[in-house]
């Protein structure tokens, strides 16, 4: 991994968490909400130019973490979530394009929200919580989605300004097999925890 002191990483991450998402993603939860509601059109999960080039001290060539590959890792789970929601809307006699948002309650359960009568929302929420496959898929996507958004923002900034991002580089392993989205998520969450602790 690229060398950067823990203190510098924490300070820079704190600034990036405040600024990067605002400049490129006004609503950090918008992509996840789209993933949990039936889309009007097929969502395009991959783009050919979505890649972050990162230089490392151990290699003379630039190293790449492809955003397309990261998106594919949770693509099946997002598609599964969409399909379950679509089926639930049909089951309760609701239009397929009904805007439905899935969130996590304070107690940790899944809650469906939208322009639907409360009685149906409660029944849909109950059904979703009983479906362990759905619960697992939703929690997996929810956990990894912030890291994917962060990596996507870094990609856009790198393409726009041609500059590397030291904080993101610190998350990258020199061994490709340890650069899956779940690996980056663990490192990203660790840096977030350090940033939160330093600002407390």
Residue indicated by tokens 């998402």: 21
As given in the structure block, the two tokens for residue 106 are 């304070």
Mean pLDDT, residues 46-75 taken together: 59
**How many angstroms separate the CA atoms of 81 and 84, rounded?**
5
- Asked if 184 and 151 touch (Cβ cutoff 8 Å), the reply is yes
* pLDDT of 72 strictly over 60: yes
Q: In whole angstroms, what separates CA 149 from the centre of its chain?
A: 5
Distance of CA 92 to CAs 5, 78, 117, 122, 137, Å? 54, 21, 11, 12, 22
| pLDDT confidence of residue 190 | 87
Mean pLDDT score of the chain, rounded to an integer?
76
- Mode of pairing for the β-strands spanning 63-66 and 51-54: antiparallel
How far is it, in rounded angstroms, from Cα 163 to Cα 105?
A: 39
Bigger pLDDT: 27 vs 15: 15
Residues with Cβ within 8 Å of residue 100, at least 6 apart in sequence? 36, 37, 38, 85, 89, 112, 113, 114, 116, 124
Does position 56 have pLDDT exceeding 80, yes or no? Answer: no
Distance in angstroms (rounded) separating the CA atoms of residues 43 and 38 = 10
The answer to whether residues 172 and 63 touch, using CB atoms and an 8 Å cutoff, is yes
Closest CA to 128 of 101, 158, 165: 101
Q: Where are the domains of the chain?
A: 6-199
148-200 tens-digit pLDDT: 999 999 888 888 888 888 888 888 888 888 889 999 999 888 888 887 777 76
């Amino acid at each position: 991994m690229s060398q950067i002191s823990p203190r510098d990483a924490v300070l820079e991450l704190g600034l990036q968490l405040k600024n990067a998402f605002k400049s490129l993603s006004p609503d950090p939860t918008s992509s996840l909400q789209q993933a949990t509601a039936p889309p009007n059109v097929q969502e395009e999960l991959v783009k050919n130019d979505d890649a972050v080039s990162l230089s490392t001290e151990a290699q003379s060539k630039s190293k790449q973490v492809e955003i397309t590959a990261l998106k594919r890792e949770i693509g099946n789970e997002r598609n599964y979530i969409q399909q379950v929601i679509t089926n639930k809307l049909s089951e309760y006699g609701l239009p397929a394009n009904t805007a439905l948002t899935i969130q996590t309650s304070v107690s940790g359960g899944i809650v469906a929200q939208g322009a639907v009568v409360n009685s149906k929302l409660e029944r849909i929420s109950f059904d979703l919580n009983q479906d362990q496959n759905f619960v697992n898929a939703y929690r997996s996507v929810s956990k990894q989605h912030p890291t994917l958004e962060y990596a996507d923002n870094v990609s856009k900034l790198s393409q726009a300004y041609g500059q590397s991002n030291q904080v993101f580089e610190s998350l990258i392993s020199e061994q490709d097999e340890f650069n899956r989205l779940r690996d980056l998520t663990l490192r990203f969450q660790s840096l977030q925890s350090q940033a939160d602790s330093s600002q407390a």
